[in-house]
Amino acid sequence: MRNYRSRVLGAILVATALLAAACGSGEDAKDGPTITIGSANFPENALVAEIYAQVLEEEGYPVERNLNIGNREVYTTALESGDLDLLPEYVGSALFNQGGEPTADSEATAQALRDAFAPQGIAVLDPAPAQDKNGIVVRADTADALGLSKTSDLAAHTDLVFGGPPECPERPLCLIGLQDVYGLSFAEFKPLDVGGALTVAALEGGEIDVALLFTSDGTIAAKGFVLLEDDKGLQPAENLTPVIRQDIIDAYGDDIVDSLNGVSAELTTAELSEMNRRISIDGDDPETVAKDWIEENL
């Protein structure tokens, strides 16, 4: 689905994946099947899965973690087979993987994913506001000086330097889309890397004025960059969304749906960026970051 970030980081279940079981205790312990929660093998996805796990544990559900297990092909197969029961997905990429065509409309994309997954006994719950997709970013001083808050604001400024992946000029979700959808024109394009350290350094150092980063990148929070609103919907929706086997919902009822939807309702892109910053830059423990977010938001 994405032009610039591959979720394909391995095709074999990681033998050393974090695997811990915790049964509900006390008066609130739920009687039912253990819920195996999985994630893709990158920190952000595992973090959100950890949030799901801690919330459900606190409410007495028996939970088992199997995080960082592989790419989308691996964990989708595990979900379909029943080896996994619950995981966080990105609606656009998941729909594309199922043969659909995502749009910038988050709810429409989520509904299309529901339709695609339903025959496989998988339910798609409410999408969170938080998204991890291509984003157009500027420094705070640039945003203040030029009055920038959304991508269309750049149309009035043709003297800016844009930096991004080397293939950006040929990609419909990068320069081609920025030109066709927004009518943007830049003084220069500088080929850098795929939303990585080179792009961040060039933006921070003033070598470029506008950059393509991922919307939940922790460096946005760390550096105080301004993520411009994709106000014309160039980028397909990539909301983080719980996907769960229907038999788990059947076993526990609507309460588990409400619990997971409650997480989604509070999870924003800015908060996700801040949590990613704590993990990737500060080196904080993901379990602690998840716990702190839960205490502050739920």
Q: In what order do the strands lie in the sheet with 134-138?
A: 188-191, 161-164, 210-214, 134-138, 226-227
DSSP class of residue 72 equals H
Q: What pLDDT was estimated at residue 28?
A: 80
Which run of H or of E encompasses 223? helix 218-223
The size of the chain, in residues, is 298
3-state helix, strand, coil in the chain (%, to 5): 45, 15, 40
Predicted confidence (pLDDT) per residue in 125-168, tens digit: 999 999 999 999 999 999 999 999 999 999 999 999 999 999 99
| Domain 21-131+236-297 matches domain 134-227 at the CATH topology level | yes
The CATH class, in words, for 134-227 is alpha beta
Predicted confidence (pLDDT) per residue in 109-133, tens digit: 999 999 999 999 999 999 999 999 9
Predicted confidence (pLDDT) per residue in 45-102, tens digit: 999 999 999 999 999 999 999 999 999 999 999 999 999 999 999 999 999 999 999 9
User: pTM value?
Assistant: 0.89
Q: Write down the domain spans for the chain.
A: 21-131+236-297, 134-227
Predicted confidence (pLDDT) per residue in 211-248, tens digit: 999 999 999 999 999 999 999 999 999 999 999 999 99
Q: What pLDDT was estimated at residue 5?
A: 39
User: What's phi and psi for 64, nearest 5 deg?
Assistant: -130, 135
Predicted confidence (pLDDT) per residue in 240-276, tens digit: 999 999 999 999 999 999 999 999 999 999 999 999 9
- Of 3.40.190.10, 2.60.320.10, 3.20.20.70, 3.20.20.140, which CATH number belongs to 21-131+236-297? 3.40.190.10
The arithmetic mean of pLDDT across residues 189-195, rounded, is 96
